[in-house]
């Protein structure tokens, strides 16, 4: 399965950047359904459980600029078609902080915003730089 390249990532963010704004860091992540939703599906049968899990999983590209955090919900890992876009001004993180935790496989990023909450996990093996970019984004929104 082909993965998104740096060029495709920059193309996906290009229409969402303001004049003079430059993408510093980006990462690909997912939000999967709760285990309480997944287990009953797998109890029925493995193949329908896998298909349902894939259909319920949300794919995200997040990008950090000097001014904003941009969150793009994309159709799939191989298709950068944007389904939804959210943005957070970096100054807003002083009032509604974001947080991140990095473990062995994933970096988890959470934004506690009443109007636009966000939570996803970013796998280290997606690309050579996915973990480093996700950690840099997590540090930036936690420190703001």
Percent helix, strand and coil across the chain, each to the nearest 5: 35, 30, 35
pTM assigned to the model: 0.85
Q: Domain total for the chain?
A: 1
Evaluate whether residue 89 is within a structural domain.
yes
The span from the CA of 123 to the CA of 134, in Å, is 9
Among 24-38, 40-54, 110-124, the range scoring the smallest mean pLDDT is 40-54
Residues 16, 85 contacting (CB under 8 angstroms): yes
**pLDDT surpassing 50 at residue 105:** yes
Residue 32's pLDDT band (boundaries 50, 70, 90)?
confident
- pLDDT for the residue 45: 72
> Does 78 map to a domain?
yes
Q: Provide the pLDDT confidence category of residue 93 given band limits of 50, 70 and 90.
A: confident
Determine, yes or no, domain membership for 43. no
Residue 111 lies in a domain: yes
- Residue 128 domain boundaries: 6-15+62-143
On whether residue 28 sits in a domain, the answer given is: no
In a domain, 33, yes or no: no
Q: For residue 56, is it within any domain?
A: no
Helix extents (H) in the chain: 6-13, 35-44, 46-56, 130-143
Query: Which residues does residue 25 pair with via DSSP β-bridges, in sequence order?
Result: 64
- Whole-angstrom distance, CA of residue 39 vs CA of residue 55: 15
Does pLDDT of 1 surpass 60?
no
Residue 118 in domain? yes
């Amino acid at each position: 399965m082909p993965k998104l390249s740096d060029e495709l990532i920059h193309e996906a963010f290009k229409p969402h950047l303001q004049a003079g704004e430059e993408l510093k860091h980006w990462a690909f992540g997912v939000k999967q359904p709760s285990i309480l939703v997944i287990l009953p599906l797998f109890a029925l049968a493995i193949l329908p459980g896998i298909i349902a899990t894939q259909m319920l999983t949300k794919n995200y590209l997040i990008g950090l600029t000097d001014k904003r955090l941009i969150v793009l919900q994309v159709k799939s890992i191989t298709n950068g078609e944007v389904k939804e876009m959210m943005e957070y001004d970096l100054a807003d993180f002083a009032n509604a902080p974001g947080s991140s935790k990095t473990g062995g496989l994933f970096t988890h990023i959470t934004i506690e915003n009443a109007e636009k909450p966000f939570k996803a996990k970013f796998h280290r093996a997606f690309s050579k730089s996915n973990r480093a970019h996700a950690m840099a984004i997590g540090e930036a929104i936690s420190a703001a």
